[in-house]
Amino acid sequence: MFLLRLKRTVKLGAKSLWMHRLRSTLTALGIVFGVCSVVAMLAIGEGAGRDAQDQIARLGAQNIIIKSIKPPRSDSAKTGTNRYEAYGLSYADVRRIRDTVPHIQEVVPKRLITLQATYRNRSVTVQVIGTASWYGEVHPMRLLRGRFLAYMDEKRQQKAAIVDQQVVDQLFAVDDPIDTNIKLKGDYFTVVGLVAPSGAAGPAGQDAARLKTGGRAGDAAVGNIYVPLSTFKTCFEGSRERVELEELTIKVDSTESVLLIRDALEVLLRRFHKNKDYQIIVPLELLRQAARTKRIFNIVLGSIAAISLLVGGIGIMNIMLATVSERTREIGIRRALGARRSDIIIQFLSETLLLTLTGGLLGIALGLIVPIMVTHFGDMPTVITGQSLIMAFGISAAIGITFGLYPAYRAAHMDPIESLRHE
Amino acid sequence: MTTPSSAQSSDLTSGAPDATDATADGAIVRTENLTKTYQMGPSELTVLREVSIDIKQGEYIAIMGPSGSGKSTLLNLLGCLDRPTTGRYLLGGQDISLVDDDELSAIRGAKIGFIFQSYNLIHQLNIIENIEVPMIYQNFSESASEARARELAELVGLGDRLRHRTTELSGGQQQRVAIARALANDPLIILGDEPTGNLDSKSGKEILDLLDSLHQQGKTLIIVTHDDDVSLRAQRVFHVLDGRIERIDVHDN
């Protein structure tokens, strides 16, 4: 009995919306755009956050990175007679870390230099990384052809080089890079291996590379070339060298001990580097920070979207109040003819709900398109989660009820006699 | 409450209520010292003073009186649109003074048919849909209410224009729709608030003829009017003045 009546009352609401098509459409538009912006904003926020997290995750959540930095100026200025005073990490530090700090799986030393690589008449700017054969243990990389650096390369100071695909693309064109010789600052290196570029292709990947190599990659470096540390030392180190090692990557046995080991390293390094010429970076911390940032980002974007939804909701309430007062007489007639307050409430509430729910569905459809466009034209990653869709739909339903209830209540509580007299 | 099945009986206007609908002496409308007072700021305005009337099943009653006499208030009380300040109102044996708003709505829907001076049709709806309105609230199925609305439209002489908008109709035709609507739930009483007030004399006469025929079929009619034509057709005329029934004329027609 009740369901029958409910069905007819809802139908009535739909009919009256249909009779005021333009008004209904305009009213629903507020919700359409509101829901659309919720879905789109969340997708963009989620995408941006996940992108940053991916980049940091590529640094390795189990890793701790220590970088050499120029010590604060005040110290060296006082004592500094020598402009080329040495600073930063040294091989001694590597030994000390290996010997004294527990839970460490690998320590990868790294030297960096940006220079011109030449092959035949072609030359590009590359980032040369002098490192150890176990580099891959800490920075997972995909070997495409040949081999990576070996122990003997290091021991014999072989002029062996591993190039990444980006270098190959720029330097070799159609030639097979393996076993060719490339010239790096006066020395010829034999290419023994080819690896996939670190990180994804495109600008995001380069950002990752820049982050990984301590922001030194420079805008011009197209890719990475890996050479043995010992060779690096002999070939690229000038007499006026100031830094022994640019970077150390330390792999810890589990993510739980990362922060603990960071503290241990800090204590150890502080003893030998009184001038604070190092910097410890913990990707795990960055990752957590990025997650926090993402959450804040989502909250900010979400609240902007929520405000637009609120505005849409207020618009709906406004129209519904106008509709109620416009239809005062109809309400009076219905009440006189036996409609209960609940019937009137259902009639108007169902109108609002129909408006907001169809608005919500349209908004979701539109909100699915926007992130695709953003990804396509704006070159920004976006991630649409089912959660956000459910939330958007839930919000539009909630708005329908919240902003529909008051007008419906007003309609239901009008005095039938007064309403019938209303012109 | 009138059940849909009884409302759908083939005799559309069978007015005979169950014996339980009437009080012991056959009155389906009985008021006892009905008083209505409005609070106007600090002062009170009594528009109806201790009105006691009895109306029997099948009677045709006219209520007359100058404006401000309280006849509209009386009609609103009889129509369960309002509740008395003091006094009792028994409709079909049920004490209206005691029920809540929802029940009052249900009683209006089931036991009272309204005919208004300005017709009060819903213009967004067509004729059939207008006649269906009271049936929606009595839980008629769509097919049942539409079928009955059709029959009622035929009965009031509008069978040929069921899907028309009400705005396309003349005043007389609109009032016929309103009468059909008033009959939809086979009410105990039909209340008219100046049903001919907005009509020219010819359409007014047609409407009064239609009301007469309803009366002849056993319907109970209570009509507020200024129109002497109406009062002449009624069996009893209540003259209201200053919130009281001043006198009652009885016609033998």
pLDDT tens, position by position, A393-412 = 888 889 889 999 999 999 99
In this prediction, residues B219-242 reach a mean pLDDT of 92
- Residues A254 and A324 grouped into a single domain: no
- Residues A234 and A313 grouped into a single domain: no
Structure tokens, A46 = 């989620």
Does A152 reside within a domain? yes
Report the residue from A4, A16, A338 with minimal CB separation from B124: A16
A420 reaches B (C-beta below 8 A): yes
Task: Quote the CA–CA distance of B10 and B252 in Å, as a whole number.
Answer: 31
ipTM score above 0.85? yes
Task: Quote the CA–CA distance of A218 and A275 in Å, as a whole number.
Answer: 27
- Residues A78 and A223 grouped into a single domain: yes
Task: Quote the CA–CA distance of B240 and B224 in Å, as a whole number.
Answer: 10
Instruction: Give the CB-side neighbour count of residue B80, counting CA atoms within 13 A.
Output: 36
Q: What is the pLDDT of residue B2?
A: 39
- Residue B36 vs residues A220, A243, B47, B89, B91: alpha-carbon distances, Å: 93, 102, 6, 12, 17
Does A284 reside within a domain? no
Q: How far is A315 from chain B (nearest CA, A)?
A: 24
Contact A333 B76 (CB under 8 A): no
Single residue among A232, A252, A276 that ends a domain in this structure? A276
CATH of domain B57-83+100-250: 3.40.50.300
Chain A 8-27, CB below 8 Å of chain B: which residues?
8-9, 12, 15-16, 19
Does A62 reside within a domain? no
Q: In terms of CA atoms, which chain B residue is nearest residue A342?
A: B102
> Which stretch of A75-84, A93-102, A226-235 has the lowest confidence by average pLDDT?
A75-84
Q: Please report which confidence band the pLDDT of residue B25 belongs to, taking 50, 70 and 90 as the band edges.
A: low
Residues of B in contact with A413 (CB under 8 A): none
Does A283 reside within a domain? no
Bridge partners of residue B86, in order along the sequence = B35
Split into its structural domains, chain A has a count of 2
Q: What is the pLDDT of residue B253?
A: 64
Q: What is the pTM of this model?
A: 0.72
Contacts of B3 (CB under 8 A, 6+ apart): none
Is residue B53 within 8 Å of residue B238, measured between CB atoms? yes
Is residue A182 within 8 Å of residue A116, measured between CB atoms? no
- Residue A201 vs residues A208, A226, A268, A287: alpha-carbon distances, Å: 10, 19, 38, 21
- Residues A76 and A105 grouped into a single domain: yes
Report the residue from B76, B134, B136 with minimal CB separation from A417: B76
- Residues A333 and A222 grouped into a single domain: no
Domain containing A126: what range?
70-276
Does A61 reside within a domain? no
Q: How far is A9 from chain B (nearest CA, A)?
A: 8
Q: Please report which confidence band the pLDDT of residue A203 belongs to, taking 50, 70 and 90 as the band edges.
A: very low
- Residues A242 and A363 grouped into a single domain: no
- CA angle, residues B246, B252, B253, in degrees to nearest 5: 115
pLDDT tens, position by position, A170-198 = 888 788 888 889 988 888 999 999 998 86
Q: In terms of CA atoms, which chain B residue is nearest residue A335?
A: B105
- Residues A180 and A101 grouped into a single domain: yes
Task: Quote the CA–CA distance of A252 and A108 in Å, as a whole number.
Answer: 12
